[in-house]
Amino acid sequence: MTLTVHTQNLLSRLQGMIALSDDEIVQRGIAQATTDRIIELRHRASQLKEHHASLKKLEARVALGVSADDHTLYTELLEWRAVRHELEQLTRFLEAV
């Protein structure tokens, strides 16, 4: 891993204040970035749930047909599925960290 000079300086300054190894700092950064993404995804899933009540209801609406002029329902269905999938992956990853 290559760090910029600025990042190296920040790392050195932090290690001067807190007794942490490079490895501990990187691991904490990974965990924080993962947590931040999980929060974003949960927020989006909450928005979709608020708009459509449940994934099953949205799937049922899409199964009835989507307008040729407006694919919003289908797009939101795909997005919701992707959000759920990514949340599952990140949660498993975070548990392993």
Name the residue among 47, 48, 45, 49 with its Cα closest to residue 37: 45
Given pLDDT bands bounded at 50, 70 and 90, which one contains residue 97? confident
Residue 41 tokens read as 């995804």
Per-residue model confidence (pLDDT) at position 89: 98
Name the residue among 53, 83, 47 with its Cα closest to residue 61: 53
Q: Are 45 and 83 in contact (CB under 8 A)?
A: yes
What are 36-94's pLDDT values in tens digits?
999 999 999 999 999 999 999 999 999 999 889 999 999 999 999 999 999 999 999 99
The DSSP secondary-structure symbol of 37 reads: H
What are 8-21's pLDDT values in tens digits?
999 999 999 999 99
pTM passes above 0.85: yes
Name the residue among 91, 13, 81 with its Cα closest to residue 5: 13
